[in-house]
Chain A
Amino acid sequence: EPEVTQTPSHQVTQMGQEVILRCVPISNHLYFYWYRQILGQKVEFLVSFYNNEISEKSEIFDDQFSVERPDGSNFTLKIRSTKLEDSAMYFCASGSQGVGNTIYFGEGSWLTVV
């Protein structure tokens, strides 16, 4: 069964460093998302992406965050200058028809900022 794959599974980074989290969505999907979950808290929406542009972003997704679909298969989330409070599990998700239909999540990338 096709699945969303994410790398790395776990990354430890120094505060202030740039981090890129990578995702390979399911191949025929057109809608892509990033969510995050701080330990013990709710899953929070970060950004949605369709047709090579951001469809919607949350307040969390400030200027330190960016997304890119560089080559038609990967979907990346970049955090420019990490802060301690960016420590969280970051989930990539994709869907074939957008929200309102099933969205499939990856296993997540656990980011620890020290």
Chain B
Amino acid sequence: SQQGEEDPQALSIQEGENATMNCSYKTSINNLQWYRQNSGRGLVHLILIRSNEREKHSGRLRVTLDTSKKSSSLLITASRAADTASYFCATDAVVDYKLSFGAGTTVTVRA
């Protein structure tokens, strides 16, 4: 299985602080994507980073990818209460038609 595994499982921070979560995976990938899920809701796509990219930014989000270590990180800067959610990384390989999701990191931002 090439499923990503997020670390930590849970994270609690104060509003305004940065939140960093990591994802590790097992096999070579084409791309890695990060999704957000508010409690009981659908998956919202945040950012996609391709295997030949090392860093990508989108607003307050910064994603890095280290294919040599088979890991990625998601940084949320200047967190807000609305960032409270679970964050998942999802990977895909060249021959797959599916995304493999990790177990997620639950982020709680305290006001």
- A interface list, Cβ under 8 A from B: 31, 33, 35, 41-45, 48, 50, 55-56, 58, 89, 91, 93, 98-108, 110
Does B98 contact A45, Cβ atoms closer than 8 Å?
Answer: yes
Q: Distance (Å) between the CB of B17 and the closest chain A CB? A: 26
- B interface list, Cβ under 8 A from A: 3, 30-31, 33, 35, 40-45, 48, 88, 90, 92, 96-104
Residues of chain A lying within 8 A (CB to CB) of residue B48 = 101-102
> Dominant SS at the A interface?
strand
Give bound CA distance, A55 to B99, whole Å: 13
Residue of A nearest to B91 (CB): A99
For the complex of A and B, list the 4 residue pairs with the smallest distance between their C-beta atoms, beginning with the closest: A107-B42, A45-B98, A105-B43, A43-B101
Q: What 20 additional pairs, Cβ within 8 angstroms, besides A50-B97, A55-B97, A99-B30?
A: A31-B97, A35-B99, A35-B101, A41-B103, A42-B3, A42-B103, A42-B104, A43-B88, A45-B99, A45-B100, A56-B96, A99-B98, A100-B31, A103-B45, A105-B35, A105-B43, A105-B44, A105-B45, A106-B42, A108-B42
